[in-house]
Structure 1
Amino acid sequence: MATITDPVAPLLRLLWLASPALPIGAFSYSEGLESAVEHGLVRDDASAADWLEQQLGLLARGDLAAIAHGIAAWRANDETALRELALWLRVTRDGAEARLQSEQMGQSLLVWLRTQPMATPAQLALLAECCGGHAPPHAFVMALALAGIDVPIEQALQAQVFGWAENQVQAALKAVPLGQTAGQRVLTRLAARIPAAVAEALATPPARRQLFAPRLSILAARHETQYSRLFRS
């Protein structure tokens, strides 16, 4: 069995932390996809892949870049940068659904961390103070540090975004709906785009981070009044 000193253990812990099966509720949100299906923007595996590729581009210059900056700030022990990042993450959730997802998943990740033997009370207190238990990207950064996962930032971003892609494909299977083979075609397209998305995130300076996507925000707002829905709003 791998132990905490085993060189493989950090990779295993990274995969665990980035897994869509982590009990923080990611599976209950479609991030606008269900609303896009309702409005005819996503109809099959090709249009689902197009939609999710656009979201991946948004993540690259937004939350993925934020995770990269957060990891660098944590490793530099720069609390000022961590607090500024937490504020940016809070103010860029521009709708009720996005705020709900951020708050619920961030709080759930904090609860999960408290059940693990890897974090001290002082570290957990800093996490709660810095992000108020909100904003999954910020909590993910802290969790990486608290879990002792000292991997290259590029690997951390790849793991996180692949977990996101798996979760979104599962949402597409239910909402479109798609078959398993079609879902794998979508995941294949997303996986091919992940290296470029990670490279863009790493090249994005803090001043150029942005999550401006008004069409997605409007769809998310419409989702809460959608007649029939499988995902939380």
Structure 2
Amino acid sequence: MDINLTNNHFLSILQLASPSLPVGAYSYSEGLETLVENGTINSQTNLQHWLQSQLRYGAIRVEAAVMLRSHQSVSVGDMEALCRWNLWLSAARETAELRTSSWQMGRSLMQLLGKLDPQIMPIVNIVGNPSNYAIAFGIASAHWQINHTASLLAYLHSWASNLITAGVKLIPLGQTAGQEILLQLQTSFNTAAVEILALTDDHLACCSWGLSLASMQHETQYTRLFRS
């Protein structure tokens, strides 16, 4: 059963999901830059539609589900399962770009966690490098005793916030449009969270070929603002 979300837990999850967290999330667009370049996404409406589709069918669902399994593994002290899920998620990445971004952000978050709370270092050392970002996020949220639902919603919100910020720069859109998208996604966040919490290991799958193709094309895109 999820523990209550105390004030300290709430403040911890705000810090973990903050756009100012120095893990480099702002430097990646997850293929969005390619989709804007080729005209697939060129407005507030279709950016919102893309994000809603990803929450309904995309790889972010698998990522978030593995984050929860990382959380659970740390909570019960199952380090073997934690390492296994890290390897599983690395193998599940469909492009070099998506794998590299997850590893870079995971490494940055692991290093940050070690400095913020040295007591977490034994777990960080067990997982080692490379560590996926979802794994590191799950470790942090479990260590700080943040419940599953709050951790999941924060993870999804942080992911969407980063891509909305990228879209605001690329399309471009105004800041108000970005905030409108984020507000409109609340129902999608809640729906996705319920579904992801119910996923069994055998049902960790997604339909993300559009993201995969965009990511592969972004790796060789001539002019880029975002890292590949």
Whole-Å separation in 2 of the counterparts to 1:168 and 1:26: 9
The equivalent position to 2:136 in structure 1, one of 136, 139, 142, is 139
User: Is residue 163 from structure 1 mapped to residue 165 from structure 2 by the alignment?
Assistant: no
Q: Identify which range, 177-186 or 70-79, moves more after superposition.
A: 70-79
User: Is residue 227 from structure 1 mapped to residue 226 from structure 2 by the alignment?
Assistant: no
- Where does structure 1 lack aligned partners over 5 or more consecutive residues? 1-6
List per-residue Cα deviations over 1:60-108 (Å, max 9, x = no partner). 5311111122222222222232222112111011211111101111111
Structure 1 segment 199-214 matched on structure 2, within 5 A: 199-214=194-209
One-letter amino acid of the counterpart of residue 135, structure 1: N
The equivalent position to 1:194 in structure 2, one of 189, 194, 206, is 189
Whole-Å separation in 1 of the counterparts to 2:120 and 2:203: 34
1:178: how far off?
A: 0.6
What is the aligned partner in structure 1 of residue 7 from structure 2? 8
One-letter amino acid of the counterpart of residue 40, structure 2: L
Query: In the comparison of the two structures, how many residue pairs are matched?
Result: 222
- Where does structure 2 lack aligned partners over 5 or more consecutive residues? 1-5
Q: TM-score, normalised by structure 2?
A: 0.91
Percent identity at matched positions?
Answer: 36
Asked if structure 2 preserves the Cα contact closer than 8 Å seen for 1:25 and 1:105, the reply is yes
User: Is residue 172 from structure 1 mapped to residue 171 from structure 2 by the alignment?
Assistant: no
Judged with a 3 Å threshold, the aligned counterparts in structure 2 of structure 1 residues 216 and 227 are, in CA distance, closer, same or farther, namely same
Whole-Å separation in 2 of the counterparts to 1:121 and 1:82: 14
Whole-Å separation in 1 of the counterparts to 2:119 and 2:205: 31
One-letter amino acid of the counterpart of residue 226, structure 1: Q
What is the aligned partner in structure 1 of residue 3 from structure 2? none
What is the aligned partner in structure 2 of residue 96 from structure 1? 96
Asked if structure 2 preserves the Cα contact closer than 8 Å seen for 1:60 and 1:201, the reply is no
Question: Over the residues paired in the alignment, what is the CA RMSD in angstroms?
Answer: 1.6
What is the aligned partner in structure 1 of residue 113 from structure 2? 113
List per-residue Cα deviations over 1:174-196 (Å, max 9, x = no partner). 01111112112211222221010
1:151: how far off?
A: 2.7
Whole-Å separation in 2 of the counterparts to 1:114 and 1:69: 21
Asked if structure 1 preserves the Cα contact closer than 8 Å seen for 2:34 and 2:217, the reply is yes
Asked if structure 1 preserves the Cα contact closer than 8 Å seen for 2:82 and 2:127, the reply is no
Asked if structure 1 preserves the Cα contact closer than 8 Å seen for 2:59 and 2:208, the reply is no
Q: Identify which range, 59-68 or 92-101, moves more after superposition.
A: 59-68
Whole-Å separation in 1 of the counterparts to 2:59 and 2:208: 11
The equivalent position to 2:148 in structure 1, one of 153, 159, 170, is 153
User: Is residue 26 from structure 1 mapped to residue 21 from structure 2 by the alignment?
Assistant: no
Asked if structure 2 preserves the Cα contact closer than 8 Å seen for 1:106 and 1:134, the reply is yes
Judged with a 3 Å threshold, the aligned counterparts in structure 2 of structure 1 residues 224 and 232 are, in CA distance, closer, same or farther, namely same
List per-residue Cα deviations over 1:192-220 (Å, max 9, x = no partner). 21010111110111111124422211111
1:127: how far off?
A: 3.3
